[in-house]
A and B are shown apart, each in its own frame.
Chain A
Amino acid sequence: MRNIGNIDVRGLTLGFRNFGRTNAVVEDFSFKFDGGSFTSIIGSSGCGKSTLLNAIGGHYKPLAGQILLDGCEIKEPTASLGIVFQQHTLFPWKTVMENVRFGPMQRGVSKVRANAVAAKYIEMVGLAGYGDYYPKMLSGGMQHRAEIARALANAPAVLLMDEPFGALDAQMRASLQSSLLDIWKETHVTIIFVTHDVEEAMYLSERIVVMSRDRGRICEVFALDEPFPRNKDKLFASEGGRDLKEKCIGCLAS
């Protein structure tokens, strides 16, 4: 466990107030994400997993409870909480290089240094040579890579990922998954990964949190001890793997 990148969610209630009535999407949610860990959150659509992730990123104010990053309450989005969204959110008017260096430059890093940092992460995600391209000139998978590079270039303590590979074909998804694991190993960033794909969660994470549709209650938390790098075929064929997958799917269905 590292001493940075710890997320502590305490009694969190998210939702909206409507004419005095409270509609809770997530109610009394508590969980600790250890620094440097890789946790997946799975749940059927509408269970509030995306809302939870946005709240951790500082984009929603909780109705009750609090979220702490290394002991400090998260009140607004900050550079330490990097987010990769499901939709493409690269700035279309900036090249890949300009997109990736945006974070460092916002923090006041000089252009020369920001370029160096950006180049490093662009290479890390396998986009070397595409720095001068505008986002629309790249394929969907390449845009996702650029987005991950942009989030990482800020050296965030936590990387929040909201179904980032949901819209990709199987091949592209597999290659991005293994890139993500390499990046995680290299940077030791805390990753909170939202997905609805059980196999993806099993392949990537150390722990899987299953959220129920009933106000985001935690159904079950599974720990996976399988060491990295994992072999997908072996993982899903093994008895433990099959068992876990069935349990997850059972949880999701209930």
Chain B
Amino acid sequence: MDEIMAGVTQRGQGQAVSAAPEGGHQGAPTRDRGAAWFLRIVRKPRWTALLASAASLVAGVGLWQWLTESHVHLILDFSNIPTPVAVFEAFRVVVVTNAFWRDIYWSMYRIIVAFGLATVVGVSAGIAMGYSAILRLVIAPYVEMLRPIPAIAWVPMAILVWPTTEESIISITFLGAVFPIVLNTWEGVRRVPRELVKAARSLGANRLNVLFHVVVPYAIPSITVGMALGMGGAWFALLAGEMISGRFGIGYFTWESYQLIQYGNIIVGMLTIGFLSSVSTGSIYYLKRKLVPWAE
């Protein structure tokens, strides 16, 4: 696709140049040379940039090793914190246990169910709010009222309302994800240019087809941004839910490690959470690139 685009651009430039007066002939190549020069500057030190980041990480881990090994106690107390080597050891032990993978499975399961629900509910509510004035008046007050309440604040309510802890954790995770999705969908729908809608209407599309052929496709990039933000919110809420009322789950694993004085596992849990969260957010951006190639 890039090749085709380059071809079109070149053709376009060719026309512009041939139509332009003499000055245009000189202008274009200079600009190209300028761009190439700029790209060389940016691209050349790629491996040096990589090296700098790697060195920074190594230094960070080294500092951590030194702080923990020498039991530094200066405002922050490092005496109980495991060394990087100890954490790696803990990881090697825990990664072969069924319990560790079972915890990951439960967390992923909760995320998929809650996030799936949040996507369906959030996208529907956002489209309804953006497309119908009456539905906006009905839904908007709830969104505006409930949105500022952090998902963690729902924990006691959720435990009271739902019959099992499993359902309450999923509902908390759902609440962590749903609001960014609603708001970004709404925003995307609201921004649909009037001209696009008018063009579709003039081509004979009715209101429903305008919704599916114009409004929703236009909002998809915005919806995926909302989903990526929602995924972050979902993990945040899930961890809170698992730590407070969970059985199983990677948040539960981390909290349990603290209570069982398995300090190495705390950090293994934290790093696992970070990894899972960034993989799931990354997969949404991947999905976006697959879904909306025209927006890249």
Residues of A participating in the B interface, judged by any CB pair closer than 8 Å: 54, 57-59, 76-79, 81-83, 85, 87, 89, 91-93, 102-103, 106-107, 133-139, 150-151, 154, 169-172
Contact = CB atoms under 8 A, between A and B. Distances in A.
Contacts of B201: 58-59, 76-77
Given A93-B295, A106-B205, 14 more contacts: A54-B198, A59-B201, A76-B201, A77-B202, A87-B193, A89-B199, A91-B200, A93-B217, A93-B292, A107-B204, A137-B1, A150-B203, A151-B202, A169-B19
B214 A91 contact: yes
Interface stretch (B4-12, B77-85, B109-117): B4-12
Given A83-B198, A85-B195, A138 B8 contact: yes
Contacts of B292: 93
Contacts of B213: 91, 102
Contacts of B193: 87, 89
B8 A137 contact: yes
A92 B12 contact: no
B15 interface: yes
B270 interface: no
B96 to A, nearest CB: 47
B262 interface: no
A76 B205 CA distance: 11
A169 B16 CA distance: 9
A77 B209 CA distance: 14
Interface of B: 1, 4-5, 8, 11-12, 15-16, 19, 193, 195-196, 198-205, 209, 213-214, 217-218, 220, 292-295
A106 B203 contact: yes
A87 B202 CA distance: 15
Contact of A103 (B12, B15, B203, B217): B203
B295 A78 contact: no
A134 B294 contact: yes
A239 to B, nearest CB: 31
Q: Which of B16, B198, B217, B220 has the most CB of A within 10 A?
A: B198
Contacts of A138: 8
A58 B15 CA distance: 38
A167 B94 CA distance: 65
A135 B11 CA distance: 15
Q: Which 8 pairs between the two chains have the least Cβ-Cβ distance?
A: A79-B204, A89-B199, A103-B203, A77-B201, A139-B12, A106-B204, A93-B217, A83-B202
Given A106-B203, A106-B205, A133 B4 contact: yes
A150 B213 CA distance: 15
Nearest to A139: B12
A175 to B, nearest CB: 10
A22 B19 CA distance: 48
A102 B201 CA distance: 11
A102 B203 contact: yes
Contacts of B196: 89, 91
15 contacts: A57-B198, A81-B202, A85-B198, A91-B196, A91-B200, A91-B213, A91-B214, A102-B200, A102-B203, A103-B203, A106-B205, A137-B5, A137-B8, A154-B203, A171-B15
Contacts of B5: 137
Contacts of B202: 57-59, 77-79, 81-83, 151
A210 B19 CA distance: 32
Nearest to B16: A169
Contacts of A133: 4, 8
Nearest to B194: A59
B116 to A, nearest CB: 24
Contacts of B218: 93
Contacts of A83: 198-199, 202
A81 B201 CA distance: 10
A79 B203 contact: yes
